[in-house]
Amino acid sequence: MVYTTSDYFPFLARQFHRETEWNECNAYSTFCRTSKVILDFTIPYGLSVSTGRSVGSNLSSQLVFSMVPSSASSIGYLAASRPLFAITPAPVGNSPRVKSTAVSATLADQTQSDILSNPRAGECDSKLARHQRIQDVLDSQSLLQNIRAGVWKCSWRPVSSSAQQQDYTGDYLAVAQLYPSLATITGSYLVRRSATAELAISGVSVAGSQQDLQLIVQHATNQRRWSSEATYGTNGQMLGLRGQYNFGEAETPEPQLGEDASGRLSMGGEMYFGAQEASGGMSVGARYRYDRPLLLELACVANPIMGHVSLAWTQQLRTHACAAARYDFNAFSLSSELAVGVEWQMDENSILKARWSDSQGLRCLVDTRLNNMVFSMGLDLGAGAGTGADAAAAPAGIKRFVRSFGLQFQWFL
């Protein structure tokens, strides 16, 4: 059975971290996130329809219905300590807009040229931070940009000093989802323990004759210079530690708008141990990222115990286009894989993703916005066939060429 997912709750979780000024990208768990969103994106499974709406300023609901028997439908609720982004009705003939409660009406109504000419707009710490805030406001006006655009369009700068001075202690985000056909409930709870610390608890509970409850507890620290994560999972009694250190100046310089900003080198690693299997592992990585004027990122992650090395390259080609490539090699089995991909925002209402690898073939995803709906169509082409009953029932020609095809309709009310 496949879990059918929607983009609505992950979208709200990202907005919660933005509202509380938590940098999701300053962590070893997201070390290669930029290349992964271009190379490892998922496509819809079968045909599914979902709706997401704000029940109140601090409460949202989501309903996902799958028309494929092997895919599970769900209903869920999300509660937060502060109002998150909500979609407001748009005037006739205009596209719907996403409204941020953290941005004043004056700032949201101003044009980009008006804000750039006003040195006090947004009341940010620096011109670079003010420019990023302006871009956030402009991006927030596009529903598709918020829901689907890749993280390469986001700023990965360390946590600002203003964020560390504010008190977000006690801010929380709680999510619960029910899958009736699987008799399963999933849930997550995030709470800020301080301006630079967050506690996350996630769990899956399965009812029935074989009841099962699995929990994952993670405590994360997010500083300007470094970050750390300590994780414990009940499944396999797994304990893991991650850390990342950012080289260079601790304080971000204040370049003029239009000037280049210096790149940043980060290094990190992780260690994990499973008490149930009495086994463990480790990995180390290095990443260099240059954000302006166009993004360039190089990352290398190695697992010496497994003999695995991964090299990733990401390059922004234009303002709305980004490409990535990754080469994976295993020194023990001498196996390797090469993957290349591109994400292109064709216009305000359409995003195209495509990736190819020598082992998995070609995968394409097209997202299109129409008013308050996001329509997604995905196609997976490869030399190998699918798996299970679907592969056995497929015609011989299709079995060799088409792995998966899916459509997804998402309404945001």
Using a CB cutoff of 8 Å and minimum separation of 24, what contacts does 326-330 make? 326/35, 326/39, 330/306
Q: Is the peptide bond before 10 cis (omega within 30 degrees of 0)?
A: no
Instruction: Give the distance, in angstroms, between the CA of residue 346 and the centroid of all CA atoms in the same chain.
Output: 21
What is the structure's pLDDT at 365? Answer: 93
Higher pLDDT residue, 299 or 180?
Answer: 299
**Report for 88-97, 146-155, 283-292, 330-339: range of highest mean pLDDT:** 330-339
Q: State how far the Cα of 220 lies from the Cα of 385, in Å rounded to an integer.
A: 41
The residue type found at 338 is L
Q: pLDDT for 219-276, tens place per residue?
A: 999 998 999 999 999 988 899 999 999 997 544 444 444 444 568 899 999 999 998 8
Q: Give me the numbers of helices (H) and strands (E) for the chain, helices first please.
A: 9, 23
Which of 48-52, 70-74, 261-265 holds the top average pLDDT? Answer: 48-52
- Predicted confidence band of residue 105 (pLDDT cuts 50, 70, 90): very low
Q: What is the pLDDT at residue 29?
A: 92
Type and span of the H or E element at 131: helix 127-140
CB-neighbour burial class of residue 11 (10 A; exposed 0-12, middle 13-18, buried 19+): buried
pLDDT category at 278 given cuts 50, 70, 90 is confident
Residue 398 has pLDDT above 60, yes or no: no
The answer to whether the CB of 107 falls within 8 A of the CB of 137 is yes
What would the pLDDT profile of 131-141 be if each residue is shown by its tens digit? 555 555 544 44
* Confidence bin at 383 (pLDDT 50/70/90): low
Q: What percent of the chain is predicted at pLDDT more than 70?
A: 70
CA dist 47 and 68 (Å) reads 6
Pairing of strands 336-347, 350-357: antiparallel
Rounded distance between C-alpha atoms, residue 304 and residue 308, angstroms: 7
Q: Is the pLDDT of residue 375 over 50?
A: yes
Rounded to two decimals, the pTM is: 0.77
Parallel/antiparallel/unpaired status of strands 279-290 and 296-303? antiparallel
Q: Which of 326, 281, 280 lies closest to 300, judged by CA? A: 326
In whole numbers, what is the pLDDT of the chain averaged over residues? Answer: 78
Higher pLDDT, 113 or 72: 72
Residue 101 confidence (pLDDT) above 80: no
**What local confidence, expressed as pLDDT, does residue 89 receive?**
43
Q: Is the pLDDT of residue 70 over 70?
A: no
pLDDT score at 106: 30
pLDDT band at 90 (very low <50, low <70, confident <90, very high): very low
Q: In DSSP terms, which residues pair with 205 in a beta bridge? A: 185, 213
**Range with the poorest average pLDDT among 196-205, 245-254, 383-392:** 383-392
